[in-house]
Protein backbone atom coordinates (compact mmCIF):
# COMPACT_ATOMS: atom_id res chain seq x y z
CA UNK A 1 0.00 0.00 0.00
CA UNK A 2 3.01 2.22 -0.48
CA UNK A 3 1.96 3.96 -3.67
CA UNK A 4 -1.00 6.32 -3.80
CA UNK A 5 -1.76 5.54 -0.18
CA UNK A 6 -3.93 8.58 0.32
CA UNK A 7 -6.09 7.61 -2.65
CA UNK A 8 -6.50 4.06 -1.38
CA UNK A 9 -7.41 5.23 2.13
CA UNK A 10 -10.10 7.43 0.58
CA UNK A 11 -11.47 4.45 -1.34
CA UNK A 12 -11.52 2.35 1.83
CA UNK A 13 -13.42 5.12 3.61
CA UNK A 14 -15.91 5.28 0.76
CA UNK A 15 -16.65 1.57 1.21
CA UNK A 16 -17.00 1.29 5.02
CA UNK A 17 -17.20 4.90 6.21
CA UNK A 18 -14.47 7.16 7.55
CA UNK A 19 -15.02 6.04 11.16
CA UNK A 20 -14.30 2.43 10.20
CA UNK A 21 -10.83 2.89 8.73
CA UNK A 22 -7.67 3.08 10.88
CA UNK A 23 -4.35 4.04 9.35
CA UNK A 24 -2.47 6.39 11.70
CA UNK A 25 0.61 4.57 13.09
CA UNK A 26 -0.28 5.12 16.74
CA UNK A 27 -3.77 3.70 16.18
CA UNK A 28 -2.42 0.62 14.38
CA UNK A 29 -0.31 -0.53 17.34
CA UNK A 30 -3.14 -2.50 18.94
CA UNK A 31 -3.56 -4.50 15.73
CA UNK A 32 0.08 -5.53 15.40
CA UNK A 33 -0.30 -8.69 17.50
CA UNK A 34 -2.68 -11.48 18.47
CA UNK A 35 -2.32 -13.88 21.41
CA UNK A 36 0.95 -15.18 20.01
CA UNK A 37 4.50 -13.89 20.25
CA UNK A 38 4.90 -12.25 16.84
CA UNK A 39 4.25 -8.66 15.83
CA UNK A 40 3.80 -6.83 12.54
CA UNK A 41 1.92 -3.63 11.81
CA UNK A 42 -0.70 -3.47 9.04
CA UNK A 43 -0.87 -0.36 6.90
CA UNK A 44 -4.60 0.01 7.44
CA UNK A 45 -7.36 -1.75 9.39
CA UNK A 46 -10.96 -1.68 8.17
CA UNK A 47 -14.20 -2.71 9.86
CA UNK A 48 -16.83 -3.86 7.35
CA UNK A 49 -20.42 -4.55 8.40
CA UNK A 50 -21.70 -6.61 5.46
CA UNK A 51 -20.62 -9.23 2.94
CA UNK A 52 -20.91 -6.59 0.23
CA UNK A 53 -18.42 -4.35 2.02
CA UNK A 54 -15.98 -7.23 2.52
CA UNK A 55 -16.29 -8.06 -1.18
CA UNK A 56 -15.54 -4.48 -2.22
CA UNK A 57 -12.56 -4.27 0.13
CA UNK A 58 -11.06 -7.49 -1.17
CA UNK A 59 -11.68 -6.46 -4.78
CA UNK A 60 -9.86 -3.18 -4.12
CA UNK A 61 -6.93 -5.03 -2.57
CA UNK A 62 -6.88 -7.39 -5.55
CA UNK A 63 -6.76 -4.50 -8.00
CA UNK A 64 -4.00 -2.73 -6.08
CA UNK A 65 -1.97 -5.88 -5.28
CA UNK A 66 -2.35 -5.40 -1.53
CA UNK A 67 -2.02 -8.35 0.90
CA UNK A 68 -5.14 -9.01 3.00
CA UNK A 69 -5.37 -10.51 6.49
CA UNK A 70 -8.68 -11.35 8.13
CA UNK A 71 -8.95 -10.72 11.87
CA UNK A 72 -11.50 -11.88 14.41
CA UNK A 73 -11.05 -11.24 18.13
CA UNK A 74 -7.26 -11.49 18.04
CA UNK A 75 -7.08 -14.40 20.53
CA UNK A 76 -5.19 -16.73 18.16
CA UNK A 77 -1.95 -18.29 19.35
CA UNK A 78 0.12 -18.86 16.21
CA UNK A 79 0.33 -15.43 14.56
CA UNK A 80 -2.59 -16.15 12.23
CA UNK A 81 -4.00 -12.63 12.48
CA UNK A 82 -0.62 -10.91 12.11
CA UNK A 83 -0.16 -8.77 8.99
CA UNK A 84 3.35 -10.10 8.37
CA UNK A 85 3.68 -8.24 5.04
CA UNK A 86 1.78 -5.14 6.13
CA UNK A 87 -1.13 -4.45 3.82
CA UNK A 88 -4.81 -4.44 4.74
CA UNK A 89 -6.26 -6.05 7.84
CA UNK A 90 -10.00 -6.72 7.63
CA UNK A 91 -11.39 -6.87 11.17
CA UNK A 92 -14.78 -8.59 11.34
CA UNK A 93 -15.85 -7.47 14.81
CA UNK A 94 -18.83 -5.46 13.49
CA UNK A 95 -20.29 -8.55 11.81
CA UNK A 96 -21.79 -10.07 14.97
CA UNK A 97 -25.28 -11.05 13.88
CA UNK A 98 -26.87 -14.37 14.86
CA UNK A 99 -29.05 -14.45 11.78
CA UNK A 100 -31.03 -17.65 12.33
CA UNK A 101 -31.57 -20.42 14.87
CA UNK A 102 -33.36 -23.40 13.33
CA UNK A 103 -34.27 -25.82 16.11
CA UNK A 104 -36.04 -28.31 13.85
CA UNK A 105 -32.99 -28.77 11.63
CA UNK A 106 -30.48 -28.22 14.43
CA UNK A 107 -28.50 -25.35 12.92
CA UNK A 108 -27.65 -21.68 13.22
CA UNK A 109 -26.58 -19.10 10.66
CA UNK A 110 -24.14 -16.52 12.04
CA UNK A 111 -21.72 -13.83 10.96
CA UNK A 112 -17.98 -14.34 11.53
CA UNK A 113 -17.61 -11.84 14.35
CA UNK A 114 -20.07 -13.67 16.63
CA UNK A 115 -18.33 -14.64 19.87
CA UNK A 116 -18.37 -18.40 20.46
CA UNK A 117 -20.00 -18.22 23.90
CA UNK A 118 -22.64 -15.74 22.71
CA UNK A 119 -23.88 -18.29 20.18
CA UNK A 120 -23.91 -21.00 22.85
CA UNK A 121 -25.92 -18.79 25.22
CA UNK A 122 -28.40 -17.93 22.48
CA UNK A 123 -28.79 -21.60 21.55
CA UNK A 124 -29.50 -22.45 25.20
CA UNK A 125 -32.71 -20.43 24.97
CA UNK A 126 -33.96 -23.05 22.52
CA UNK A 127 -32.69 -26.08 24.44
CA UNK A 128 -29.68 -26.36 22.12
CA UNK A 129 -25.94 -25.71 22.29
CA UNK A 130 -22.90 -25.14 20.11
CA UNK A 131 -20.46 -27.86 21.16
CA UNK A 132 -16.92 -26.63 20.23
CA UNK A 133 -15.74 -24.66 23.26
CA UNK A 134 -12.22 -23.21 23.06
CA UNK A 135 -11.07 -21.99 26.44
CA UNK A 136 -11.12 -18.51 24.92
CA UNK A 137 -14.82 -18.91 24.09
CA UNK A 138 -15.74 -15.79 26.07
CA UNK A 139 -13.79 -13.75 23.53
CA UNK A 140 -12.92 -15.76 20.39
CA UNK A 141 -15.04 -15.37 17.27
CA UNK A 142 -16.49 -18.06 15.04
CA UNK A 143 -14.66 -16.75 11.99
CA UNK A 144 -11.37 -17.27 13.79
CA UNK A 145 -12.52 -20.70 15.02
CA UNK A 146 -13.10 -21.69 11.39
CA UNK A 147 -9.72 -20.36 10.28
CA UNK A 148 -7.82 -22.38 12.88
CA UNK A 149 -10.24 -25.36 13.14
CA UNK A 150 -10.42 -24.62 16.86
CA UNK A 151 -10.84 -27.33 19.47
CA UNK A 152 -11.69 -27.20 23.15
CA UNK A 153 -12.31 -29.44 26.17
CA UNK A 154 -15.60 -30.89 24.92
CA UNK A 155 -14.23 -31.69 21.47
CA UNK A 156 -13.06 -35.07 22.81
CA UNK A 157 -16.55 -36.49 22.36
CA UNK A 158 -18.05 -34.10 19.82
CA UNK A 159 -15.23 -33.25 17.44
CA UNK A 160 -13.54 -29.97 16.56
CA UNK A 161 -14.93 -27.03 14.59
CA UNK A 162 -14.90 -28.74 11.19
CA UNK A 163 -17.32 -31.38 12.51
CA UNK A 164 -19.87 -28.67 13.30
CA UNK A 165 -19.71 -26.44 10.22
CA UNK A 166 -22.20 -27.23 7.46
CA UNK A 167 -21.39 -24.40 5.09
CA UNK A 168 -20.22 -20.85 4.71
CA UNK A 169 -20.46 -17.85 2.45
CA UNK A 170 -16.93 -16.80 1.50
CA UNK A 171 -15.27 -13.91 -0.29
CA UNK A 172 -12.50 -15.06 -2.62
CA UNK A 173 -9.33 -13.28 -3.70
CA UNK A 174 -10.90 -11.25 -6.54
CA UNK A 175 -13.82 -10.13 -4.36
CA UNK A 176 -16.28 -12.69 -5.75
CA UNK A 177 -18.72 -14.28 -3.29
CA UNK A 178 -19.64 -17.96 -3.23
CA UNK A 179 -21.03 -20.64 -0.93
CA UNK A 180 -19.17 -23.75 0.18
CA UNK A 181 -21.55 -26.33 1.58
CA UNK A 182 -24.93 -25.15 2.82
CA UNK A 183 -27.66 -26.03 5.30
CA UNK A 184 -27.69 -29.76 4.65
CA UNK A 185 -25.32 -32.33 6.11
CA UNK A 186 -24.34 -33.84 2.78
CA UNK A 187 -23.58 -31.83 -0.36
CA UNK A 188 -22.67 -33.55 -3.66
CA UNK A 189 -19.19 -32.98 -5.06
CA UNK A 190 -15.90 -32.09 -3.41
CA UNK A 191 -15.94 -31.13 0.25
CA UNK A 192 -14.67 -27.58 -0.25
CA UNK A 193 -16.22 -26.60 3.08
CA UNK A 194 -13.94 -29.11 4.80
CA UNK A 195 -10.89 -27.83 2.93
CA UNK A 196 -11.67 -24.22 3.85
CA UNK A 197 -12.01 -24.91 7.59
CA UNK A 198 -8.52 -24.84 9.08
CA UNK A 199 -6.95 -23.03 6.13
CA UNK A 200 -5.81 -20.26 8.51
CA UNK A 201 -7.19 -17.40 6.45
CA UNK A 202 -5.15 -18.25 3.35
CA UNK A 203 -8.14 -19.22 1.15
CA UNK A 204 -10.58 -16.37 1.72
CA UNK A 205 -12.83 -14.69 4.29
CA UNK A 206 -16.01 -16.31 5.59
CA UNK A 207 -18.86 -13.81 5.92
CA UNK A 208 -21.71 -16.15 6.89
CA UNK A 209 -21.38 -19.50 8.65
CA UNK A 210 -23.89 -22.34 9.04
CA UNK A 211 -23.15 -24.45 12.13
CA UNK A 212 -24.71 -27.53 13.69
CA UNK A 213 -26.46 -27.22 17.04
CA UNK A 214 -26.92 -30.13 19.44
CA UNK A 215 -29.63 -30.68 22.08
CA UNK A 216 -28.62 -29.86 25.64
CA UNK A 217 -27.83 -33.06 27.57
CA UNK A 218 -30.38 -34.36 30.03
CA UNK A 219 -27.79 -34.91 32.74
CA UNK A 220 -24.19 -33.81 33.38
CA UNK A 221 -21.71 -35.04 36.01
CA UNK A 222 -18.30 -33.41 36.41
CA UNK A 223 -15.67 -35.39 38.30
CA UNK A 224 -12.49 -34.00 39.82
CA UNK A 225 -9.81 -36.61 40.51
CA UNK A 226 -6.75 -35.69 42.59
CA UNK A 227 -3.51 -37.59 41.98
CA UNK A 228 -0.11 -37.61 43.62
CA UNK A 229 1.68 -37.07 40.33
CA UNK A 230 1.22 -36.54 36.59
CA UNK A 231 2.10 -40.17 35.75
CA UNK A 232 -0.83 -41.51 37.78
CA UNK A 233 -3.20 -39.02 36.16
CA UNK A 234 -1.97 -40.00 32.67
CA UNK A 235 -2.49 -43.67 33.51
CA UNK A 236 -6.06 -42.88 34.54
CA UNK A 237 -6.70 -41.20 31.18
CA UNK A 238 -5.50 -44.28 29.29
CA UNK A 239 -7.55 -46.56 31.54
CA UNK A 240 -10.77 -44.58 31.05
CA UNK A 241 -10.46 -44.53 27.25
CA UNK A 242 -9.22 -48.14 27.26
CA UNK A 243 -12.51 -49.24 28.83
CA UNK A 244 -14.39 -47.80 25.88
CA UNK A 245 -15.63 -44.78 27.84
CA UNK A 246 -15.44 -41.52 25.89
CA UNK A 247 -16.40 -38.68 28.26
CA UNK A 248 -17.41 -35.28 26.95
CA UNK A 249 -14.09 -33.94 28.27
CA UNK A 250 -10.93 -35.06 30.08
CA UNK A 251 -8.67 -32.20 31.15
CA UNK A 252 -5.45 -32.37 33.15
CA UNK A 253 -3.92 -29.67 35.37
CA UNK A 254 -0.50 -30.15 36.97
CA UNK A 255 0.83 -28.89 40.32
CA UNK A 256 2.37 -25.69 38.93
CA UNK A 257 -0.89 -24.71 37.28
CA UNK A 258 -2.91 -25.68 40.37
CA UNK A 259 -0.76 -23.31 42.42
CA UNK A 260 -1.40 -20.48 39.96
CA UNK A 261 -5.15 -21.11 39.91
CA UNK A 262 -5.33 -21.15 43.71
CA UNK A 263 -3.52 -17.83 43.80
CA UNK A 264 -6.53 -16.23 42.11
CA UNK A 265 -9.42 -18.60 42.98
CA UNK A 266 -9.24 -19.96 46.52
CA UNK A 267 -10.34 -23.49 47.35
CA UNK A 268 -11.48 -24.61 43.92
CA UNK A 269 -8.78 -27.32 43.55
CA UNK A 270 -6.87 -29.46 46.08
CA UNK A 271 -3.68 -27.62 46.99
CA UNK A 272 -1.61 -30.74 47.71
CA UNK A 273 -2.32 -32.62 44.44
CA UNK A 274 0.48 -33.35 41.99
CA UNK A 275 -2.13 -33.29 39.21
CA UNK A 276 -5.90 -33.28 38.80
CA UNK A 277 -8.19 -34.65 36.13
CA UNK A 278 -11.41 -32.85 35.24
CA UNK A 279 -13.73 -35.38 33.60
CA UNK A 280 -17.23 -34.58 32.36
CA UNK A 281 -19.84 -37.22 31.52
CA UNK A 282 -23.15 -36.25 29.96
CA UNK A 283 -26.20 -37.77 28.31
CA UNK A 284 -29.28 -39.65 29.54
CA UNK A 285 -29.50 -39.58 33.35
CA UNK A 286 -29.30 -43.34 33.90
CA UNK A 287 -26.33 -43.69 31.55
CA UNK A 288 -24.53 -40.74 33.14
CA UNK A 289 -24.90 -42.23 36.62
CA UNK A 290 -23.47 -45.53 35.45
CA UNK A 291 -20.59 -44.03 33.48
CA UNK A 292 -19.60 -41.53 36.15
CA UNK A 293 -19.43 -44.41 38.62
CA UNK A 294 -17.15 -46.30 36.25
CA UNK A 295 -14.95 -43.25 35.73
CA UNK A 296 -14.69 -42.69 39.48
CA UNK A 297 -13.72 -46.32 40.10
CA UNK A 298 -11.19 -46.23 37.25
CA UNK A 299 -9.52 -43.13 38.66
CA UNK A 300 -9.21 -44.74 42.09
CA UNK A 301 -7.78 -47.90 40.49
CA UNK A 302 -5.19 -45.74 38.69
CA UNK A 303 -4.06 -44.18 41.97
CA UNK A 304 -6.39 -41.24 42.61
CA UNK A 305 -6.16 -40.02 46.19
CA UNK A 306 -9.60 -38.48 46.06
CA UNK A 307 -12.46 -38.10 43.58
CA UNK A 308 -15.35 -35.71 44.00
CA UNK A 309 -18.41 -35.40 41.80
CA UNK A 310 -19.95 -32.00 41.01
CA UNK A 311 -23.66 -32.39 40.33
CA UNK A 312 -24.83 -28.80 40.75
CA UNK A 313 -24.43 -26.29 37.92
CA UNK A 314 -22.77 -23.73 40.19
CA UNK A 315 -20.05 -26.15 41.32
CA UNK A 316 -19.47 -27.38 37.77
CA UNK A 317 -19.18 -23.83 36.46
CA UNK A 318 -16.65 -23.00 39.18
CA UNK A 319 -14.46 -25.95 38.18
CA UNK A 320 -14.62 -25.07 34.50
CA UNK A 321 -13.93 -21.41 35.21
CA UNK A 322 -10.77 -22.52 37.01
CA UNK A 323 -9.71 -24.65 34.04
CA UNK A 324 -10.46 -22.02 31.42
CA UNK A 325 -8.79 -19.29 33.45
CA UNK A 326 -5.66 -21.32 34.13
CA UNK A 327 -3.35 -19.49 31.76
CA UNK A 328 -4.48 -16.10 32.93
CA UNK A 329 -3.71 -17.27 36.47
CA UNK A 330 -0.09 -17.96 35.50
CA UNK A 331 0.43 -14.22 35.75
CA UNK A 332 0.58 -14.79 39.50
CA UNK A 333 3.76 -16.88 39.04
CA UNK A 334 5.68 -14.87 36.45
CA UNK A 335 5.12 -11.79 34.28
CA UNK A 336 5.60 -13.58 30.92
CA UNK A 337 4.65 -16.84 29.29
CA UNK A 338 5.33 -18.81 26.13
CA UNK A 339 2.81 -21.44 25.07
CA UNK A 340 3.68 -24.62 23.18
CA UNK A 341 0.85 -26.46 21.41
CA UNK A 342 1.43 -30.04 20.29
CA UNK A 343 -0.29 -33.42 20.09
CA UNK A 344 0.92 -36.90 21.02
CA UNK A 345 -0.77 -40.31 21.24
CA UNK A 346 -2.50 -40.77 24.62
CA UNK A 347 -0.32 -43.80 25.34
CA UNK A 348 2.77 -41.59 25.23
CA UNK A 349 1.54 -38.78 27.48
CA UNK A 350 3.67 -39.92 30.44
CA UNK A 351 6.88 -40.12 28.43
CA UNK A 352 6.24 -36.82 26.66
CA UNK A 353 5.51 -34.92 29.85
CA UNK A 354 8.65 -36.32 31.47
CA UNK A 355 10.68 -35.10 28.48
CA UNK A 356 8.99 -31.69 28.67
CA UNK A 357 9.83 -31.45 32.39
CA UNK A 358 13.45 -32.42 31.68
CA UNK A 359 13.72 -29.70 29.05
CA UNK A 360 12.36 -27.13 31.49
CA UNK A 361 14.80 -28.20 34.20
CA UNK A 362 17.76 -28.15 31.80
CA UNK A 363 16.98 -24.58 30.80
CA UNK A 364 16.11 -23.49 34.34
CA UNK A 365 12.51 -22.66 33.41
CA UNK A 366 9.17 -23.16 35.13
CA UNK A 367 6.84 -25.25 32.95
CA UNK A 368 3.15 -25.53 33.84
CA UNK A 369 0.80 -27.96 32.10
CA UNK A 370 -2.94 -27.74 31.56
CA UNK A 371 -4.26 -29.58 28.54
CA UNK A 372 -6.81 -31.72 26.74
CA UNK A 373 -5.59 -35.06 28.07
CA UNK A 374 -8.32 -37.12 26.41
CA UNK A 375 -7.00 -36.46 22.91
CA UNK A 376 -3.33 -35.94 23.77
CA UNK A 377 -3.36 -32.22 22.97
CA UNK A 378 -0.59 -30.76 25.17
CA UNK A 379 -0.13 -27.12 26.16
CA UNK A 380 3.15 -26.76 28.07
CA UNK A 381 3.36 -23.16 29.20
CA UNK A 382 6.76 -21.72 30.05
CA UNK A 383 6.49 -18.99 32.68
CA UNK A 384 9.40 -16.55 32.92
CA UNK A 385 10.52 -12.94 33.32
CA UNK A 386 11.74 -11.38 30.08
CA UNK A 387 13.71 -8.80 32.10
CA UNK A 388 16.11 -11.53 33.19
CA UNK A 389 19.11 -11.50 30.80
CA UNK A 390 18.99 -14.44 28.41
CA UNK A 391 15.64 -15.72 29.68
CA UNK A 392 13.75 -15.24 26.43
CA UNK A 393 16.45 -16.97 24.40
CA UNK A 394 16.20 -19.99 26.71
CA UNK A 395 12.42 -20.01 26.38
CA UNK A 396 12.56 -19.99 22.58
CA UNK A 397 15.07 -22.83 22.50
CA UNK A 398 13.15 -24.87 25.06
CA UNK A 399 9.89 -24.42 23.14
CA UNK A 400 11.50 -25.66 19.95
CA UNK A 401 12.77 -28.77 21.73
CA UNK A 402 9.30 -29.46 23.14
CA UNK A 403 7.74 -29.28 19.68
CA UNK A 404 10.34 -31.70 18.35
CA UNK A 405 9.66 -34.11 21.22
CA UNK A 406 5.95 -34.18 20.29
CA UNK A 407 6.90 -35.15 16.74
CA UNK A 408 9.35 -37.81 17.98
CA UNK A 409 6.55 -39.34 20.03
CA UNK A 410 4.48 -39.88 16.90
CA UNK A 411 2.50 -36.68 17.32
CA UNK A 412 2.21 -33.47 15.38
CA UNK A 413 2.86 -29.73 15.54
CA UNK A 414 -0.50 -28.36 16.62
CA UNK A 415 -3.79 -29.62 17.91
CA UNK A 416 -5.88 -26.49 17.60
CA UNK A 417 -3.84 -23.29 17.45
CA UNK A 418 -2.61 -23.62 13.88
CA UNK A 419 0.79 -23.24 12.25
CA UNK A 420 0.69 -19.57 11.24
CA UNK A 421 4.01 -17.79 11.59
CA UNK A 422 5.09 -19.55 14.75
CA UNK A 423 5.55 -23.11 13.50
CA UNK A 424 5.95 -22.90 9.75
CA UNK A 425 9.69 -23.58 9.99
CA UNK A 426 8.85 -26.93 11.61
CA UNK A 427 6.55 -28.15 8.83
CA UNK A 428 9.30 -30.29 7.23
CA UNK A 429 9.40 -32.31 10.47
CA UNK A 430 6.10 -33.94 9.53
CA UNK A 431 5.59 -33.22 5.81
CA UNK A 432 7.74 -33.99 2.78
CA UNK A 433 8.35 -31.33 0.18
CA UNK A 434 5.93 -33.18 -2.09
CA UNK A 435 3.25 -33.00 0.63
CA UNK A 436 3.72 -29.27 1.00
CA UNK A 437 3.76 -28.72 -2.75
CA UNK A 438 0.33 -30.36 -2.98
CA UNK A 439 -1.01 -28.19 -0.14
CA UNK A 440 0.37 -25.08 -1.82
CA UNK A 441 -1.43 -26.02 -5.04
CA UNK A 442 -4.70 -26.38 -3.13
CA UNK A 443 -4.18 -22.95 -1.56
CA UNK A 444 -3.36 -21.44 -4.94
CA UNK A 445 -6.59 -22.79 -6.42
CA UNK A 446 -8.45 -20.57 -3.96
CA UNK A 447 -5.98 -17.68 -3.90
CA UNK A 448 -3.79 -17.84 -7.03
CA UNK A 449 -2.00 -14.57 -6.25
CA UNK A 450 -1.44 -15.53 -2.58
CA UNK A 451 -2.87 -12.28 -1.29
CA UNK A 452 -4.79 -13.81 1.63
CA UNK A 453 -2.64 -14.08 4.75
CA UNK A 454 0.65 -14.47 2.87
CA UNK A 455 3.75 -15.83 4.58
CA UNK A 456 1.83 -18.25 6.82
CA UNK A 457 1.93 -22.05 7.25
CA UNK A 458 4.72 -22.91 4.77
CA UNK A 459 8.47 -22.33 5.19
CA UNK A 460 9.83 -19.35 3.31
CA UNK A 461 8.62 -15.78 2.95
CA UNK A 462 8.80 -13.67 6.12
CA UNK A 463 10.95 -15.73 8.43
CA UNK A 464 10.37 -16.30 12.11
CA UNK A 465 12.27 -13.38 13.59
CA UNK A 466 13.65 -14.13 17.06
CA UNK A 467 14.52 -10.49 17.62
CA UNK A 468 10.90 -9.53 16.94
CA UNK A 469 9.76 -12.48 19.00
CA UNK A 470 11.82 -11.48 21.99
CA UNK A 471 10.13 -8.09 22.04
CA UNK A 472 6.68 -9.57 21.61
CA UNK A 473 6.42 -12.38 24.16
CA UNK A 474 3.05 -11.91 25.79
CA UNK A 475 2.56 -10.89 29.40
CA UNK A 476 0.29 -13.26 31.26
CA UNK A 477 -2.80 -11.83 32.89
CA UNK A 478 -6.59 -12.06 33.13
CA UNK A 479 -7.01 -11.52 29.39
CA UNK A 480 -4.79 -14.43 28.36
CA UNK A 481 -6.62 -17.22 26.54
CA UNK A 482 -5.82 -20.72 25.28
Fold: same for 5-93 and 98-215: no
**Nearest Cα to Cα of residue 344 among 415, 430, 441:** 415
pLDDT attached to residue 231: 96
pLDDT beyond 60 at 442: yes
| Closest among 5, 82, 60, 94 to 418, alpha carbons compared | 82
Average pLDDT, the chain: 92
Give DSSP secondary structure letters for 56-116: HHHHHHHHHT--EEEESSS--SSSTT--TT-SEEEE-TT---EEEEETTTTEEEE-TT-BH
Distance CA(399)–CA(381), nearest Å, equals 9
Which CATH architecture does the domain made up of 220-408 adopt?
3-Layer(aba) Sandwich (3.40)
User: In DSSP terms, which residues pair with 412 in a beta bridge?
Assistant: 343
Encode pLDDT of 9-18 as tens digits. 999 999 999 9
Instruction: Centre a 10 Å sphere on the Cβ of residue 229 and count the other Cβ atoms it contains.
Output: 15
Torsion of CA 82, 88, 93, 96, to 10 degrees: -120
CB 15 within 8 A of CB 57: yes
Q: What dihedral do alpha carbons 325, 331, 336, 337 form, nearest 10°?
A: -30
Residue 367 and residue 356 in contact, taking contact as beta carbons nearer than 8 Å? yes
Q: What is the mean pLDDT of residues 123-141?
A: 95
- At residue 57, does pLDDT exceed 70? yes
Lowest mean pLDDT among 388-392, 427-431, 447-451: 388-392
Total residue count of the chain as it appears in this document: 482
Determine the Cα–Cα distance for residues 66 and 82; give it in Å rounded to an integer: 15
Query: Residue 476 — pLDDT band, cuts 50, 70, 90?
Result: very low
Name the percent of the chain in helix, strand, coil, to the closest 5: 40, 20, 40
Provide the CA 87 distance to its chain's centre, in angstroms.
24
Residue 121 sits at the vertex; the CA angle it makes with 33 and 181, to the nearest 5 degrees, is 70
User: 435: number of CA atoms within 13 Å, CB side?
Assistant: 9
pTM beyond 0.75: the answer is yes
Pick the CATH number of 98-215 from 3.30.465.10, 2.60.40.1120, 3.30.1330.10, 3.30.310.50: 3.30.465.10
- Residue 13: phi and psi, rounded to 5, are -65, -35
Per DSSP, the residues of 389-456 read: TTHHHHHHHHHHHHHHHHHHTT-BS-SSS--TTTTGGGGGGT--HHHHHHHHHHHHHH-TT--BSTT-
Q: Is domain 5-93 annotated with CATH 3.40.190.10?
A: no
Non-local (6+) Cβ contacts of 48 within 8 A are 15, 16, 20, 54, 57, 90, 92, 94, 95
Residue 347 has pLDDT above 80, yes or no: yes
Task: Name all contacts of 291-295 with Cβ < 8 Å and 24+ positions apart.
Answer: 291/245, 291/247, 292/221, 292/223, 294/243, 294/245, 295/223, 295/240, 295/245, 295/247
Cα torsion 24, 74, 406, 272 to 10°: value is: 120
* Every domain of the chain and the residues it spans: 5-93, 98-215, 220-408
Q: Is the pLDDT of residue 478 over 50?
A: no
- Residue scoring higher pLDDT (337 or 277): 277
Distance, CA of 299 to CA of 423 (rounded, Å):
36
| pLDDT one-digit tens code per residue, 22-46 | 999 999 999 998 887 788 999 999 9
- Cβ–Cβ < 8 Å for 327, 476: yes
What whole-number percentage of the chain has pLDDT above 70? Answer: 95
pLDDT at position 253 is 97
Which residue from 302, 157, 290, 153 is spatially nearest to 225, judged by alpha carbons?
Answer: 302
Amino acid sequence: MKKSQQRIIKELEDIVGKANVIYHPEDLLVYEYDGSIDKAIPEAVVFPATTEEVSKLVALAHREDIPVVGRGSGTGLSGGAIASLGGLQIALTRMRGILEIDVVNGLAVVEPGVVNLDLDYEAHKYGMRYAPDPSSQKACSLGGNIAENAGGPHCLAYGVTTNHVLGMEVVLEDGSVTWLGGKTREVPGYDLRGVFVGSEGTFGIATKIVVRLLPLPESVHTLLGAFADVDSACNAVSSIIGKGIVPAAIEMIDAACIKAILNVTKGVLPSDAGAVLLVEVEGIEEEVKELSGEVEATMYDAGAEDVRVALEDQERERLWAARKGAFGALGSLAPNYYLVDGVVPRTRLNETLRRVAEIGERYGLLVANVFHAGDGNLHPCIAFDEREPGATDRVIQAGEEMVKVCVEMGGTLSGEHGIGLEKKAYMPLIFTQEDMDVMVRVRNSFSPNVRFNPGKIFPGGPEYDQAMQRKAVSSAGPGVYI
